[in-house]
C-alpha cells in the first residue's frame, strides 16, 4: 500500500464472496496509514448498493481498515453518542484510489453504552450455502468475530473512545484546511 497520501480522497468498494459488487462509497479521506491498518473519515458519503439504490451516510464516521484482520470498524459519531458498525470482511486491499474487501455479512453493532449485538447471522448462513464458502472461511469468520468482541469488551483500539475523537479532530483539520 505504497503512494498513500494523508488528506487525499479514496473510494470504497465492498464485494461478495462470488466477486459481485456489494456496495460502494464515493469518497473517504485518508487520515493515517501504518503497518497494521488504514484510518479514513467521511461524512454524508454517497453509498450505492448492488441493486443501484443510492443513499447518503447520516453522520461523520471514522473507518478502520486492517491489513491482516478479517474485519473493519466504523466509528459513527451520532447525536446520541459514539456507535460502531463492524463488518466481518477480508483484510483490506488498496488498488489505486480504491479500498477493497470481501464482506462476509456478519456484523457487530456496538452501542454508546458498550453493549453489542451480532447482526445478519441468517444472511451469513444463506450466502455461505449459496456461494459455497469453504470450511476454512467459516472458521476464520467466526474466529475473527470472537477477536472483535474481545476488542470491544476490553475497550481496545478503535473502541477506546479517545481514539475515534483524535481522528475526528484530524479529519476536521484537513477538511477545514482544504475545503474538502
Q: Which three cell numbers stand for residue 137?
A: 472461511
User: What span, in angstroms and rounded, lies between the C-alpha atoms of 4 and 76?
Assistant: 24
Sequence-ordered list of residues with C-beta below 8 angstroms from that of 13, at least 6 positions apart, any chain: 21, 23, 24, 98, 99, 100
Q: Within 10 A of 113 (CB to CB), how many other CB atoms are there?
A: 7
CA dist 179 and 88 (Å) reads 33
Of 172, 162, 153, whose CA–CA distance to 82 is shortest? 162
Torsion angle in degrees (nearest 10) through CA of 135, 147, 117, 103:
-50
Catalytic residue list contains 23? yes
- Phi/psi of residue 35, each to 5°? -65, -20
H or E segment to which residue 23 belongs: strand 21-33
DSSP state of 1: -
Q: Which residues are designated catalytic? A: 23
Amino acid at each position: 500500500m505504497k503512494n498513500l497520501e494523508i488528506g487525499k480522497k479514496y473510494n470504497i468498494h465492498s464485494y461478495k464472496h462470488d466477486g459481485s459488487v456489494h456496495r460502494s462509497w464515493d469518497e473517504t479521506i485518508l487520515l493515517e496509514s501504518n503497518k497494521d491498518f488504514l484510518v479514513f473519515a467521511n461524512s454524508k458519503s454517497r453509498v450505492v448498493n448492488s441493486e443501484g439504490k443510492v443513499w447518503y451516510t447520516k453522520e461523520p464516521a471514522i473507518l478502520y481498515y486492517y491489513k491482516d484482520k478479517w474485519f473493519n470498524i466504523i466509528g459513527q459519531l451520532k447525536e446520541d453518542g459514539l456507535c460502531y458498525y463492524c463488518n466481518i470482511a477480508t483484510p483490506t486491499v488498496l488498488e489505486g484510489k480504491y479500498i477493497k474487501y470481501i464482506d462476509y455479512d456478519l456484523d457487530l453493532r456496538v452501542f454508546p453504552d458498550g453493549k453489542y449485538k451480532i447482526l445478519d447471522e441468517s444472511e451469513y448462513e444463506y450466502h455461505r450455502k449459496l456461494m459455497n464458502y469453504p470450511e476454512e472461511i467459516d472458521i476464520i469468520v467466526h474466529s475473527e468475530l470472537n477477536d472483535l468482541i474481545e476488542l470491544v469488551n476490553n475497550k481496545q483500539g478503535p473502541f477506546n473512545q479517545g481514539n475515534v475523537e483524535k481522528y475526528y479532530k484530524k479529519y476536521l483539520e484537513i477538511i477545514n484546511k482544504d475545503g474538502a
